[in-house]
Amino acid sequence: MSLPRIALIHFHLESNRAAPVSDRKEFEAQRLLIGEELAKAARQTPPRVSSCTKGFLSEMGDFDMVPIFSAAAGAGGMMDGALFDELLAEIDTRLPKDLDAIYVDAHGACIATNDEDPEGTLLQRIRAKCGCDIPLVMTLDLHGHVSPTMIELADFISAYRTNPHIDQFERGAEAAIALKRLLAGETTGRALVRLPFIPPSTSQNTDTGPYARLMGEAIALSKGDVWNVSLCSGFTAGDSQKAGFNVTVTACDSDTAKATATEMAARVWQAREEFSINLTSIEDSIDLMKTSQTPLIFGDVADNPGGGGRGNVLALFEAMLEAGVQKALVGMLFDPTLAAQAQELGEGAEFDASFNREESSPLSGKLTRKAKILKVRSAPVECRRGLYAGGLQNLGPCALLDCNGIYVIVSTIRRQLCDPAFIERFDLDIADFKSVIVKSRGHFRAGFDEFFAPEQVIEVDGPGLTTPVLARMQLNKTPRPIYPADKDMQWSPEQSCWTVP
Ligand SMILES: [Zn+2]
């Protein structure tokens, strides 16, 4: 018996509309593999592919791989439209007609400069080439936005169930299991309910609170005729026309899918007021750094590169310098110019470090302080815990500086600090610090849980492109009314429900 021919597409970008456009350079810095380059990465041991794709490959076993592309740039601004068009053209040229199935490993919250629903357009392009008779399965990030086009053209959708995200491998494997059922002749119905509800980014932890409870209920409903219930909170800073908490159900038929999706959506709507934020001002954070008896980790949640933040907002660091905070580490400030200068001067050198010399975002700020270069590093980081565990992360040339007694890591590639390995590569022991400051919204929790219990985590209310404070965001495309911006609005699941077929 011949092996099934399955095409692989990996398409990941979380677009923050306020951030600079994510161009080819941004993708090349992280991942832009076309055709055979993707197959080569997948054949390495361990495979150098996303965790979802790893899970898919592992569960799928032997198949005839048709690699189309792998394009990922974490989180940034909108995708450059020309690059998006190039990727669509790759679909046209590389997808063979005699295909048995397709796996699309996507984020779900991409916006291109020329397209408000790139994931939907991607599926349209695939179907235009391959028709609608072969199965297509898709995995998404928990922060993805699902469109009616996506449930129309994908036979199965599964989104991450964890935040911080640690179940990508399982979701990829789940997509492979679904694909095997579809290849055996089973069919599905899908339903999507989009709620007019954007929960604050810092209220979306799935370990505790309302999201944890709702996710448990969604998992309990995912059995028998219901293949999968996915709860995507969406990505508010995307300011997307697709914004809003969405419930996507794949089931044996569309009636079952619709009944499950509307029931689950009603439960989410009921719980909307429980998604509250609990931020600590910069001033109070500084007090804690100086007085706390136990070590603390501070998430600079408003400047999270993992949500398209610049990763170089200096407000908190500057306040720490002013207050003379000691035994503290700030990681990581995105500053390619400063990192290059430190690499050139070398370890041991002392110099006037000018932060953000070439940054144009007004929220980032600028400052110059005397600094000593303690260590420089350039090799990619072998990640060990949390979101990036088991993978390699390229941060480009980096430096560890001592600035008035505060240790600060400077990087060339903009990345959230959510893995202890990013710090340990400088031969530092995290336990030596009283205060660790990370540019991350929530993924650092899974990386640093062996050092900091949940009660040792402080979420700082600073400036930045990823602030969870809705009132400070520019929301122009997000549909209105929407909760909590429009507090008194009425809504029922039937108002925004799509079903297929
Ligand atoms: Zn996410």
pLDDT score recorded for residue 116: 98
Does residue 427 belong to any structural domain of this protein? yes
Does residue 481 belong to any structural domain of this protein? no
Ligand 1 centroid to residue 162 C-alpha, Å: 9
Does residue 477 belong to any structural domain of this protein? no
- The reply to whether 358 and 247 lie within a common domain is no
Ligand 1 centroid to residue 235 C-alpha, Å: 8
CB 415 within 8 A of CB 305: yes
- The reply to whether 150 and 175 lie within a common domain is yes
Does residue 222 belong to any structural domain of this protein? yes
- The reply to whether 296 and 388 lie within a common domain is yes
- The reply to whether 270 and 299 lie within a common domain is no
pLDDT score recorded for residue 472: 87
- The reply to whether 285 and 366 lie within a common domain is yes
pLDDT tens, N- to C-terminus, the chain (501 residues): 689 999 999 999 999 999 999 999 999 989 999 999 999 999 998 899 999 999 999 999 999 999 999 999 999 999 999 999 999 999 999 999 899 999 999 999 999 999 999 999 999 999 999 999 999 999 999 999 999 999 999 999 999 999 999 999 999 999 999 999 999 999 999 999 999 999 999 999 999 999 999 999 999 999 999 999 999 999 999 999 999 999 999 999 999 999 999 999 999 999 999 998 999 999 999 999 999 999 999 999 999 999 999 999 999 999 999 999 999 999 999 999 999 999 999 999 999 999 999 999 999 999 999 999 999 999 999 999 999 998 899 999 999 999 999 999 999 999 999 999 999 999 999 999 999 999 999 999 999 999 999 999 999 999 999 999 988 888 999 999 999 999 899 999 999 999 999
Ligand 1 centroid to residue 142 C-alpha, Å: 5
10 HSE (CA, 13 A, CB side): 30
- The reply to whether 230 and 363 lie within a common domain is no
- The reply to whether 152 and 227 lie within a common domain is yes
Q: What pTM was computed for the model?
A: 0.89
Ligand 1 centroid to residue 113 C-alpha, Å: 21
- The reply to whether 445 and 299 lie within a common domain is yes
Q: Residue 403, SS3?
A: strand
Ligand 1 centroid to residue 479 C-alpha, Å: 21
Ligand 1 centroid to residue 216 C-alpha, Å: 18
pLDDT score recorded for residue 470: 86
Does residue 223 belong to any structural domain of this protein? yes
Ligand 1 centroid to residue 199 C-alpha, Å: 13
484's tokens: 């909590």
Ligand 1 centroid to residue 411 C-alpha, Å: 22
Single out the residue of 193, 192, 97 nearest to residue 154, CA to CA.
192
Q: Residue 104, SS3?
A: strand
- The reply to whether 307 and 254 lie within a common domain is no
Ligand 1 centroid to residue 420 C-alpha, Å: 19
Within a 10 A sphere around the Cβ of 19, how many other Cβ atoms?
23
- The reply to whether 252 and 371 lie within a common domain is no
Q: What's the total number of domains in the chain?
A: 2
Q: What is the CATH number of the domain that holds 148?
A: 3.40.50.2300
DSSP H or E segment with residue 185:
none
Does residue 482 belong to any structural domain of this protein? no
Ligand 1 centroid to residue 350 C-alpha, Å: 39
- DSSP per-residue letters across 333-367: EE-HHHHHHHHHH-TT-EEEEEETTT---TTT--E
- The reply to whether 362 and 263 lie within a common domain is no
Q: How far is CA 129 from CA 7, 74, 81, 84, 414, in A?
A: 12, 28, 21, 17, 36
Ligand 1 centroid to residue 12 C-alpha, Å: 10
Does residue 478 belong to any structural domain of this protein? no
Strand partners, 7: 66, 102
pLDDT score recorded for residue 81: 98
Ligand 1 centroid to residue 372 C-alpha, Å: 36
pLDDT score recorded for residue 474: 84
- The reply to whether 351 and 221 lie within a common domain is no
Range of the domain at 18: 5-274+495-500
Ligand 1 centroid to residue 87 C-alpha, Å: 22
Does residue 474 belong to any structural domain of this protein? no
Ligand 1 centroid to residue 161 C-alpha, Å: 10
pLDDT score recorded for residue 46: 85
Ligand 1 centroid to residue 73 C-alpha, Å: 13
CB 307 within 8 A of CB 202: no
- DSSP per-residue letters across 123-158: HHHHHHHH-SSS-EEEEE-TT----HHHHHH-SEEE
